Structure 1
């Protein structure tokens, strides 16, 4: 499964998406059982393209409520697992915005500093999670 990060013009059909896969991402759209996912500027809609061996299957999903959490930063195709796909369909982040750093027994001073930062930035609930 591949996810096209960034915006995609969802007016494109099968041929337009297959061309984008081949020339923009240098991937083979004819890879059997490989799903390519695209999201437009409206994050409640996605398209998928799948080669089944005898033809393409074009998928379209529109959420009534909510939005997909779609990575917008890079103009590349990201390979995702089936677990990440399930998370994406549930509206969860599949690529963390901030890397997780190891937590080596925080001292009370570090804890106080992070509480102050969280209050300053408006995340008052963070102090209850520490």
Structure 2
């Protein structure tokens, strides 16, 4: 289980990627495009071009996890590639929680997403 503790390192891949990618392909993206070690204990977040899907890649010491969230309506508020360096942006665990909960990190406001009643 992924625990968003204060010591957890989180990196967002700023460029969108093909969301058909799974364990090995996302692992290769971390190495080749982000220049990092996927087995270093950090979480790596990826999104698609339309910003409706997010995948998290995480090595817990015994194996690799992939977490995914697809929005029924609306988009994730994702930083632009010019906002970070080396194609990635470091986030605090609290910022990742806000991002996945629909909070615009620049304006600190809820985005209008669809919620089922």
Task: Give yes or no for the alignment of 1:93 onto 2:104.
Answer: yes
Q: Does residue 1:18 correspond to 2:27, yes or no? A: yes
How far 1:95 moved relative to its partner?
Answer: 4.6
Is there any run of 5+ residues in structure 1 with no aligned partner, and where? 97-130
Partner of residue 38 from structure 1, selected from 42, 46, 61: 46
5+ long unaligned stretches in structure 2? 1-9, 108-117
Separation of aligned partners in 1, 2:54 and 2:96: 12
CA distance in 2, matches of 1:72, 1:12: 21
Whether 1:55 and 2:48 are equivalent positions in the alignment is no
Provide TM-score, normalisation by structure 2: 0.73
In structure 2, the partner of 1:108 is none
Q: Structure 1: which 4+ aligned runs deviate by more than 4 Å? A: none
Bigger strand fraction: 2
Question: Scaled by the length of structure 1, what TM-score is found?
Answer: 0.66
In structure 2, what is the Cα distance between the partners aligned to 1:95 and 1:29?
27
- Which is richer in helix? 1
Identify the residue that residue 80 of structure 2 maps to in structure 1.
72
Provide the aligned length of Structure 1 versus Structure 2.
Answer: 95
Deviations 1:48-98 (A, max 9, x none): 1000111100111111232110123346111100121122012223256xx
Distance 2:62 2:98 in 1: 29
